[in-house]
Chain A
Amino acid sequence: MTGERQPLYEARHIDKNYGSVVALSDVSMALYPGEVLGLVGDNGAGKSTLVKCLSGVHNPDAGQLLLDGQERHWKSPHDTIEAGVETLYQDSGLAQDLTIGSNVFLGREKTKPGLLGKLGFLAQKEMEREALADLERVGITVPPSKRTVSQLSGGQRQAVAIGRAIAWARKVIILDEPTNHLGARQAIEVLSVIQAAKEKGLGVIFISHTLPHVLEVTDRIVVLRLGKVVRDAPTSEFDTESLLGTITGLLDAA
């Protein structure tokens, strides 16, 4: 998989400790354009910590992060967003009481032209309109209304959150448990949105406990256990049983 292609986003020898607790130890992984990379592991394996390092929430204690081959030192999540890396967190990152459009443009609001814009006045109608178009482009249709996110169902919210991330991502999109709490039909919709992201040439990191989803949507799987990478292989080399065995470590013992 390494070949002569340059990874889009790469982590090299990442260490991260919380006090005396070792969360990540010498973790390396690489994500290529148009690839969906599954990141799996048991609770406490270090998935969330790795996501936080990749999305700029935490700084690794040691190791390098390279985006497009360039070493980056994220100071905040804002830095990673600026660089084209979008993260969708567990329990989505939506502001429940704001409209769909306001959420899609949250943190990068469009302002009116001229003096009003300089004073920070928002082009709200334009944002609502463009938000619907952005979501539609990745296959999500929402009613053109001033509805707040709190008035949507769980699946609809998740669709909006993912749609927002894909609409804005220029390089990488990190999805932390995007199919959690979703019904079967809604989960399938989410998986199809991930395919749309892949076709857009984005690199997708897909974190999930739902192994059938991981096996269905990913190209390659990285398995973490107790803060270490124990397996990094094409998805075709796994089935549910072997994947589960690798995650729990029972396969090694056998």
Chain B
Amino acid sequence: MSSVTEKPAPPPATAHAIRSADWLRSVLANQQFLLLLALLALVAYFTSRDSVFLSSGEIAAMLTVFAELILLAVGETYVIISGGIDLSVGAIAGFAGVVAAFAMRDMISAHTSEALVLTVGTITCAAIGIGIGLVNAALMNWARLVPFVATLVTLGAATGMAIVLSGGGPIGADSAAISLSARRIGPFPYLALVVIVITAISGLYLHKTRYGRFTFAAGCSAFAARAVGINVRRHLTSVYVLSGLLAGLTGMVFYMVLGSGAPTSGDGAELTAIAAVVIGGVSLTGGVGLITGTILGALILTVVQSGLIISNVSPNYDQVAVAACIAVAASLQALRPAHRRQS
């Protein structure tokens, strides 16, 4: 009968040696491991420049920056693994923050309790994110736009609407939200902990559930997914809705950190999110990727950006540093033969 095993097992005497060589090779070829090494090296370098880098306050500041980035990057991870791209996430965050800020400003002036204000704000942000995610899906399903164009449309629309609504300036002045976003246990801001929990659940969902499996399948081959009866169109709709939801929640994170809804708060955030995903080794052609890669990518970007500040480098170099990270990570991946696809 047919057999797909072509290589015979190595004889027992050499098996052990081969196994340990394999082990070494697989560790070195393990991208997640290399990313972790890079992260630790960066942390060690910046700490050696200034030990304040590992102080409680600095870690808390970095985790807050991380919290502003990671949900966008997680949503982008789902979308890119599904074979698409979502350019609208930063704009969604900015727009959602502005709209929610209007609602919250009125409630604050009516002396509503802060807990209720933030709950309403969060729900508003989530609803707007879901709504724009649905618009993205509608543009793809009905107007037949490719993801790049569809989300470019909503990127422009949401950015413009945020400026029109707000008149260009920040909405509200919620000092209670700022102080709440700064509250922490040790170096861990509560806000970041909530975001980390959402990230962990999203990651488990991507890698351990049927929903996540369908996301990978759609990205590998929409044809193959359809052939086994997966409703690919419906699934992709839900992926863009999920990405929109996470972006909307990021709008709430921005609001809490800034104490206001600023229309420009999400400008360019989609590119940083995509950068984190790319550095994390998620394939832009879809079907391949790990959430831990995205998390490590986002951590590396956060550490580099904070490290530059610590080192008294002008923040104007941020973009250059991000670009350098992408260039290094992406070329390392391209050079690794193990990762190349056959056909």
Residues of A within 8 A of B (CB): 76-78, 81-82, 87, 89, 92-98, 102, 106-109, 111, 119-122, 124, 139-143, 150-153, 155-156, 159-160, 186, 189-190, 192-193, 196
Contact = CB atoms under 8 A, between A and B. Distances in A.
Nearest to A119: B209
B188 to A, nearest CB: 27
Contacts of A82: 229
Nearest to B208: A121
A119 B221 CA distance: 25
B174 to A, nearest CB: 35
19 contacts: A77-B229, A89-B223, A92-B224, A97-B220, A97-B287, A102-B213, A106-B213, A107-B225, A107-B228, A107-B230, A119-B209, A120-B205, A122-B208, A122-B213, A140-B1, A150-B341, A152-B4, A156-B6, A159-B2
A91 B216 CA distance: 19
A131 B311 CA distance: 54
A190 to B, nearest CB: 7
Nearest to A135: B4
A143 B225 contact: no
Contacts of A190: 2
Interface of B: 1-6, 205, 208-211, 213, 216-217, 219-221, 223-231, 283, 287-288, 341-342
A82 B228 CA distance: 10
B4 A192 contact: no
Contact of B288 (A77, A89, A97): A97
Contact of B220 (A95, A142, A153, A186): A95
Contacts, number: 109
B4 A141 contact: yes
A109 B342 contact: no
A41 B220 CA distance: 31
A78 B231 CA distance: 9
Contacts of B229: 76-78, 81-82, 107-108
Contacts of A92: 224
Contact of B287 (A87, A89, A95, A155): A95
B210 A106 contact: no
B4 A93 contact: no
B333 to A, nearest CB: 14
Contacts of B288: 97
Nearest to B9: A143
Contacts of B213: 98, 102, 106, 109, 122
A106 B3 CA distance: 22
A117 B171 CA distance: 44
Between B2, B221, B226, the greatest number of chain A beta carbons within 10 A of the residue's beta carbon is seen for B2
A237 B211 CA distance: 51
Contacts of A192: 1-2
Contact of A94 (B5, B219, B224, B341): B224
A3 B341 CA distance: 51
A155 B6 CA distance: 11
Nearest to B7: A143
B228 A93 contact: yes
Contact of A96 (B230, B231, B287): B287
Contacts of A108: 228-229
Contacts of B1: 139-141, 189, 192, 196
B228 A81 contact: yes
Given A107-B228, A108-B228, A93 B2 contact: no
Contacts of B221: 93-96
Given A95-B220, A97-B220, A98-B216, A139 B208 contact: no
Contacts of B224: 92-95, 106
Between A81, A82, A93, the greatest number of chain B beta carbons within 10 A of the residue's beta carbon is seen for A93
Contacts of A119: 209
Contacts of B341: 96-97, 150
Contacts of A196: 1
Contacts of B4: 140-143, 152, 155-156, 159-160
Q: Which 6 A-B pairs have the closest CB atoms?
A: A189-B2, A107-B228, A78-B229, A139-B1, A95-B220, A93-B227
B210 A109 contact: yes
